[in-house]
Chain A
């Protein structure tokens, strides 16, 4: 069983609010990812990290920001939520490279902005 956790699982919030989605893993993985997924649709890479203080933007332009101050923690922040941010956000982690770069996914946060 994967040791990667996301909170909250569900969030309904008003437009303009600041929110932080939490993601933590206990596997000591250096690589961590955030993906955005609309129901039944593709996974879009929005942010990734290679380790502490190393973050990059992914393919999909996103108004969110991330930080990586500790190896196990990779929070995603939206400074001002909008209805267009309504989606599911999936966090994942993996080892750095090689045969064991299987990505372990959290259960996701389903965000609704009203």
Chain B
């Protein structure tokens, strides 16, 4: 029931762009994106609700296609501070009939000078 993320890892030079994809086999109520730096807790970036919306946060934006059960995170003009592991969180209906937030395997992003 966990979403699938791709790529698993990416290395960028400062100023380059990257796209991280997330797909689910289950219907999605919402998609969350988090970034986790080594030894720290995940930090919330943004949430996308049903409706195919797109959101932006500085030079980081995301889209959500609920029909395809997919989301993408776009990082433009990457900065050194963008380095970390990015997790896609999907709010899905569990077998218990309750919604819960499950996470993908993460994408390790390294931005080099």
Residues of chain A at the chain B interface (Cβ within 8 Å):
33, 35, 40-45, 48, 50, 56, 58-59, 90, 92, 94, 97, 99, 101-108
Residue of B nearest to A58 (CB): B100
Contact with A along B20-45 (1 / 0, CB 8 A): 00000000011010100010111110
Known: A50-B98, A103-B42. 18 other contacts (CB 8 A): A35-B103, A41-B105, A42-B87, A42-B106, A56-B96, A58-B94, A58-B100, A59-B2, A90-B42, A92-B101, A101-B47, A101-B91, A101-B101, A102-B47, A103-B101, A104-B44, A105-B41, A107-B41
Residue of A nearest to B49 (CB): A99
Contacting residue for A56 out of B41, B49, B91, B98, CB 8 A: B98
Kindly list chain B residues whose C-beta atoms are within 8 Å of the C-beta of A99: 47, 49
Chain B: interface residue total (CB-CB under 8 A): 30
Total cross-chain contacts (CB, 8 A): 68
Complex contact B47–A108 (CB within 8 A): no
Kindly list chain B residues whose C-beta atoms are within 8 Å of the C-beta of A105: 41-43
